[in-house]
Structure 1
Amino acid sequence: MTEATNPLLSPSALPYGLPDYAAIRPEHYLPAFRRAFEEQLREVRAITAVRSMPTFENTLVALERSGELLDRVAHAFYTVSSADATPEIQAIDEELAPLMAAHEDAIRLDSQLYWRVSQVHAQLDELELDAEQRYLVQRHFREMTHAGAALDDEAKTRLTELNKRLSTLSTAFEKNLLNDTNDLAVLFDDASELDGLTSGELSATARAASDRGEDGRFLVGLPLFSGHPYLSSLTVRESRRRILEASLSRGSRGNANDNGAVLTEIVRLRAERAALLGYPSHAAYITADETAGSPDAVERMLRDLAAPAARNASREAEALQEIIDATEPDPFALEAHDWAFYTEKVRQARYDIDTAALRPWFEAERVLRDGVFFAAGQLYGVGFTEREDLGAYHPGARVFEVHDADGSAVGLYVLDLYTRDSKRGGAWMNPIVSQSALRGTLPVVVNNLNVARPGDGDPTLLTLDEVTTLFHEFGHALHGLFARVTYPHFAGTNVFRDFVEFPSQVNEMWILWSEVLDNYARHFETGEPLDAAIVERLRATEAFDQGHATSEYLAAAWLDQAWHSIAAGAEVDDVAAFEAAALSDIGLLNPLVPTRYSSTYFAHVFSGGYSAGYYSYIWSEVLDADTVEWFRSNGGLTRANGDRFRQRLLGVGGSKDPLEAYRDFRGRDAEIAPLLKRRGLDADGAAGV
């Protein structure tokens, strides 16, 4: 296949290098990858063939220039494989996984290349390099060492075998999960079974059923996490039970999509790999190159938070049982599928807030333009123009051009809002084109969510949780859009895993910020603003139900650590028993509060990039909560504040040690007190629901 017949082999002629997805067909991907692998290997051989002594230019800069074709092809493909994974794309992904792993190892384990990088690293203090250049040398040396470049040939051979097998298993885990999630979508025969849903939600379930050939019925799809947004409003208890039961059973039903054997092999091989690299566990291996530094630091934080969170969850459960006993004609014992429904009743009784009733004020287009984009404009001076002339990888994905206040180009933002069977669960951001001054590229980033698409003619009304998700993922997008670095290694969100969630969490603060909320929270029919008294009550509920929310999150973070603390040679035969023992150990084994992700559908750690790193969300939230305090103390939504945050944190991408960047922004290290207060875990915090 030639450049003339394969559009992936030549740079895209579209603005910002947006891949020409209209011209790309599935059969183009594997030949393009094979060509890209060959090209980068030639480029690396050219580096190691240089006879002169290693320098920053002939080694590090040359390495950064290599792989441009591979980056272009990989970004284009992996965007599609996560957001529109048709059976044909899934088959390509399965074939590609071990090839990609082998190629990456061929470079990062190359002894001659490692020698050259090591030589430059040894001379670092003698070289006249700027801060980004020095950090580039340090990171390449550290990352190659961490990956095993210093091992002998026999160990490298085994390491390559392990990496190839692990890549195959991770792909299988994601495929199984997608298939089982689709299979377990809950089908209802009558609208009465879904009493409590809004007309828009009901039309979305009818549309989903119709899309599967079930006209006249109603289909409830499953989000990635254990719970479901509908559980808070469904009045029929049996319907709630069916939905949660389906969610919790994903990947563990003993069928072709069962992930039990897949995940235990992943755990075993990760432990073996860690031992080969000189670490007692995969968790030790991962955290050694994160800001946490060690599993002990992670364990201390999780244990310190788990006890007060569990106590608060117990008090919350007591309050829920009381309302069941007082309001139900035939009282029953609270179960997990009841929690969200009766929590809303308590919320209404205590704060006079019905979160489901707020949806008419959260029409998706208005939230996007007058909320998400508006806040970014006020803070950073950027503007967004929809480019309907530019097509993305799926008809449902929209493209926006982003400009700075002076009219200069920032990049492209792609939004893919709605769920579909070919899209993996959850929400995420990824780059389609990475920014680099060395390569002369500006960023193209995409946000994917999984909002149910309503019937034709019905508005898309978001839940408050979905509004939060949109603001959160857009925080990642801003990080990707604003980073301005020379070297592609540092582009966008290429920072330590336990720092990457920080900018996205910070962006959530604007959801209830008066200037922003007043601008977007308008009734979709009348245009009336959300009542100020309701807004105040919403703010008063910040620590409400945080025992439950914190417990389910910590349970998942602890499961991740438990699986990845297993030493090489250890075997786990019973996934459910292992989970129970791990959660009991930290005091979070509570049938009323299922872990946010059970192991067999824990995509973050078994098919994503968060293995031994799911703690990152709470770790980053320490920085986030401290940053929110800074914004509040310094005038809030101002260009001066936004410019400081953009220049000192978002703008540096991965080109600076993240904690050093934080100190540069904040003037000191982060303090944990604001996080404890936010989650109701401090001495004065709100316990119970």
Structure 2
Amino acid sequence: MYSCATSTDSNPFFSEFKTEFGAPPFDKIKIEHYEPAFKKGIEEQNQNIQAIIDNKQEPDFENTIVALDNSDPILSRVSAIFFNMTDAETTDELTQLSIKIAPVLSEHNDNIYLNQALFKKVNAVYQKKETAKLTTEQSRLLDETYKSFVRSGANLDNQKQARLREINKELSTLGITFSNNILNENNSFKLVVDKKEDLAGLPDWFCESAAQEAKADGKEGKWLFTLHNASRLPFLQYAENRALREKMYKAYINRGNNNDKNDNKKIITQIVSLRLEKAQLLGFDCYSNFVLDNTMAKNSETVMAFLNNLWQYSLPKAKEEAAELQKLMDKEGKNEKLEAWDWWYYTEKLRKEKYNLDEEETKPYFKLENVRQGAFDVAHKLYGITLTPLKNIPVYHPDVEVFEVKDADGSHLGVFYVDYFPRPGKSGGAWMSNYREQHGNIRPLVCNVGSFTKPVGDTPSLLTLDEVETLFHEFGHGLHGLLTKCNYAGISGTNVVRDFVELPSQIMEHWATEPEVLKMYAKHYKTGESMPDSLINKLLKQKTFNQGFMTTELLAAAILDMNLHNLKDVKGLDVVAYETEAMNKLGLITEIAPRYRTTYFNHIIGGYAAGYYSYLWANVLDSDAFEAFKEHGIFDQKTASLFRSNVLEKGNSEDPMTLYKNFRGAEPKLDAMLKNRGMK
């Protein structure tokens, strides 16, 4: 009997995971389990939705809204794990399956939100909202559920709904192809150096790492550099060979724009066109106003005014920095003009000249494990929580580590996974996600994924300051997911509007470089000695250094994103020419490119369309919020408790500005952000 059992019969997704904490059994999950689980999950949710429709009782919050929120147990399990795997540890098989499954899921989603019998029930509950005696959280879930149906086309006629279905299906696969093309571009570029003199300026640890990469790629005796941040950025910072810097830089900014099999120009044009058509079907003049109708900003006009206001501060600052770098180049007497591929190199030289600070001086104090413990210790001092390693939890890759998170009273809060090093199957960048959402008594399973500097030989992973802040940033998202206390999955944790979600992450970055915190975790990896005050002072003095560049490249990308989605007509759109025209109109200097150019702007494929401004919008919030901690002490328990109870625990259970004002006592001001960026 057992020998005849199929993989479907023992599919781990078909029931709650029978593991400690309900953790995903990665040691048992196989590629053949995903598709049957998606199919069964869709079938299960369809049955649950039909039960809501067939219920003879009068529609109410419990039998309609809560029932819908809880209607997809299997689908939630398999989706959370599958889509994390396609980002963190993808394979050709997973990629093919994601392309196959995307239109199926798109159709299933449309079948729910365009189901008139179901919408009739939801609408009936919504119309009685004022007399239903709901809690604030229940009222919020009802609003969000009703809005989801309307924004998904429930009020459209049959012909428009049919077209909307086609658009959604097409968008679902185009996005996957776009992202896979970028991953392929990242993996295909290899800068192989075979002459030692071409390594001039590069730190020994970096050369050793490149030698290991070359050996693993069958090129022993050479050095291999890639487009992953942990390889590209140090190369641009330190390589004296200007021609090789140019080669590296141009390969990076031309990803998806090489007229080859990974070209994204046609794909992004189709995406922008389909999004515009979708927005217009739903009654909006452009896609940005459709997206922003469901955010703190509310509309494109507000966002553009915000971004253009910041641009007036950032561009002059960037021009000052460019002039300073040009002077440094002129001193060398080579008669060279500053180009974009020179910026990192001469910025590093200028940092050393102005502050007597070299990033190589700080890296020995930023051993990854110490930095991570520093983030954990900050959370402990603020909220009383502890994170303890778990050794018996299955993982999908040896790099992954797991921790149990407990509250101050010892109660279980959740499980936290970390996966920090770059691999060919992993998307670039860093992110937080869930394997299970919190709701009621169900505690979350949260992960942080990054692409930080790898260990080399006997040398552990030593982070750059940017990587340190990224680790704290993603842990901030993790805390948002771990500390949430909501009754309903649909509004728990990070399920908040896009321009509020970056507040918990970005505020954590502030602690990373506070002297008191640096003393806690910044210890030399060889001697164990704390970072000396002299070095801490150098770090603090240069905090606003290069902020013109950092803010301008970020703003340029945010404005580019908005421009693309503000379009009301995309006929004949040439995205590269449009980008050039838009940046020229802004007056962006040639030495700086947008942080993400159109053909590799993965954020606007993965949920930040007309939303990349959110990082800067939330920077106003986090800078203003951290002022509260500075006013009362960075570990002040009352302030921490207010932030936890009004932001981290609340998810999307109330209006975000209400939550912010409940914490801070007033709406945020721009001053702290401008001051932190050296623009005021």
TM above 0.5, yes or no, is yes
1:249 equivalenced with 2:254 (yes/no): yes
Taking the aligned partners of 1:503 and 1:652, their CA distance within structure 2 comes to: 12
Q: Is the partner of 2:450 in helix, strand or coil?
A: strand
Kindly state the Cα deviation for residue 332 of structure 1 after the two structures are TM-superposed.
Answer: 1.0
1:280 to 263, 279, 285: 285
* Counterpart residue identity of residue 29, structure 2: I
Taking the TM superposition and a 5 Å limit, the aligned residue runs for 1:499-578 are: 499-568=500-569, 570-572=571-573, 574-578=574-578
Taking the aligned partners of 1:191 and 1:110, their CA distance within structure 2 comes to: 66
State whether residues 230 and 452 of structure 2, in contact with CA within 8 Å, keep that contact through their aligned partners in structure 1: no
Q: Is the partner of 2:156 in helix, strand or coil?
A: coil
Kindly state the Cα deviation for residue 644 of structure 1 after the two structures are TM-superposed.
Answer: 1.8
Taking the aligned partners of 1:601 and 1:196, their CA distance within structure 2 comes to: 29
State whether residues 544 and 677 of structure 2, in contact with CA within 8 Å, keep that contact through their aligned partners in structure 1: yes
Partner deviation per Cα, 1:628-659 (whole Å, 9 max, x = no partner) = 11110011123333222111100001211111
Taking the aligned partners of 1:227 and 1:127, their CA distance within structure 2 comes to: 57
Taking the aligned partners of 2:284 and 2:190, their CA distance within structure 1 comes to: 41
Partner deviation per Cα, 1:15-37 (whole Å, 9 max, x = no partner) = 22211011011111011001101
Taking the aligned partners of 1:662 and 1:226, their CA distance within structure 2 comes to: 39
Q: Is the partner of 2:435 in helix, strand or coil?
A: strand
1:412 equivalenced with 2:410 (yes/no): no
Partner deviation per Cα, 1:333-373 (whole Å, 9 max, x = no partner) = 1111111111122222222211232111111111111x111
| Inter-CA distance 531–331: structure 2 relative to 1 (3 Å threshold) | farther
Q: Is the partner of 1:418 in helix, strand or coil?
A: coil
State whether residues 250 and 601 of structure 1, in contact with CA within 8 Å, keep that contact through their aligned partners in structure 2: yes
Kindly state the Cα deviation for residue 53 of structure 1 after the two structures are TM-superposed.
Answer: 2.2
State whether residues 230 and 453 of structure 2, in contact with CA within 8 Å, keep that contact through their aligned partners in structure 1: no
1:212 to 208, 217, 240: 217
Q: Which residue of 1 aligns with 2:612?
A: 614
Q: Which residue of 1 aligns with 2:51?
A: 46
Kindly state the Cα deviation for residue 227 of structure 1 after the two structures are TM-superposed.
Answer: 7.0
2:202 to 175, 197, 211: 197
Two-structure CA RMSD over aligned residues (Å) = 1.6
1:666 equivalenced with 2:664 (yes/no): yes
State whether residues 8 and 33 of structure 2, in contact with CA within 8 Å, keep that contact through their aligned partners in structure 1: no
State whether residues 155 and 276 of structure 1, in contact with CA within 8 Å, keep that contact through their aligned partners in structure 2: yes
| Inter-CA distance 156–130: structure 2 relative to 1 (3 Å threshold) | same
Taking the aligned partners of 1:110 and 1:584, their CA distance within structure 2 comes to: 47
* Counterpart residue identity of residue 246, structure 2: R
Taking the aligned partners of 2:178 and 2:300, their CA distance within structure 1 comes to: 25
Q: Is the partner of 1:232 in helix, strand or coil?
A: helix
TM-score (norm 2): 0.97
Q: Which residue of 1 aligns with 2:147?
A: 142
Kindly state the Cα deviation for residue 585 of structure 1 after the two structures are TM-superposed.
Answer: 2.4
Taking the aligned partners of 1:112 and 1:568, their CA distance within structure 2 comes to: 35
Taking the aligned partners of 1:502 and 1:338, their CA distance within structure 2 comes to: 33
Q: Which runs of 5+ in 1 are unaligned?
A: 683-689
Partner deviation per Cα, 1:299-325 (whole Å, 9 max, x = no partner) = 001111112211111111111111111
Kindly state the Cα deviation for residue 329 of structure 1 after the two structures are TM-superposed.
Answer: 4.2
Q: Which residue of 2 aligns with 1:687?
A: none
Kindly state the Cα deviation for residue 529 of structure 1 after the two structures are TM-superposed.
Answer: 1.9
Q: Is the partner of 1:553 in helix, strand or coil?
A: helix
Taking the aligned partners of 1:2 and 1:53, their CA distance within structure 2 comes to: 42
Taking the TM superposition and a 5 Å limit, the aligned residue runs for 1:209-608 are: 209-223=214-228, 228-326=233-331, 328-369=332-373, 371-437=374-440, 440-568=441-569, 570-572=571-573, 574-588=574-588, 590-606=589-605, 608=606
Taking the aligned partners of 2:89 and 2:593, their CA distance within structure 1 comes to: 29
* Counterpart residue identity of residue 60, structure 2: T
Q: Is the partner of 2:361 in helix, strand or coil?
A: helix
TM-score (norm 1): 0.96
Kindly state the Cα deviation for residue 241 of structure 1 after the two structures are TM-superposed.
Answer: 1.4
User: For structure 1, which segment, 294-303 or 641-650, has the greater mean C-alpha deviation from structure 2 after superposition?
Assistant: 641-650
Aligned length: 675
Kindly state the Cα deviation for residue 229 of structure 1 after the two structures are TM-superposed.
Answer: 3.9
* Counterpart residue identity of residue 495, structure 1: V
Taking the aligned partners of 1:655 and 1:192, their CA distance within structure 2 comes to: 59
| Inter-CA distance 630–229: structure 2 relative to 1 (3 Å threshold) | farther
2:137 to 132, 144, 152: 132
Q: Is the partner of 2:658 in helix, strand or coil?
A: helix
1:116 to 103, 116, 121: 121
Partner deviation per Cα, 1:219-247 (whole Å, 9 max, x = no partner) = 22213799724322222222221211111
Q: Is the partner of 1:529 in helix, strand or coil?
A: coil
Q: Is the partner of 2:456 in helix, strand or coil?
A: coil
Taking the aligned partners of 1:584 and 1:146, their CA distance within structure 2 comes to: 35
* Counterpart residue identity of residue 433, structure 1: R
Q: Which residue of 2 aligns with 1:34?
A: 39
Taking the aligned partners of 1:116 and 1:224, their CA distance within structure 2 comes to: 50
State whether residues 272 and 569 of structure 1, in contact with CA within 8 Å, keep that contact through their aligned partners in structure 2: no
Q: Percent identity?
A: 38
Taking the aligned partners of 1:641 and 1:196, their CA distance within structure 2 comes to: 46
Q: Is the partner of 1:112 in helix, strand or coil?
A: helix
State whether residues 3 and 10 of structure 1, in contact with CA within 8 Å, keep that contact through their aligned partners in structure 2: no
Kindly state the Cα deviation for residue 62 of structure 1 after the two structures are TM-superposed.
Answer: 0.9
State whether residues 225 and 232 of structure 2, in contact with CA within 8 Å, keep that contact through their aligned partners in structure 1: no
User: For structure 1, which segment, 182-191 or 499-508, has the greater mean C-alpha deviation from structure 2 after superposition?
Assistant: 182-191
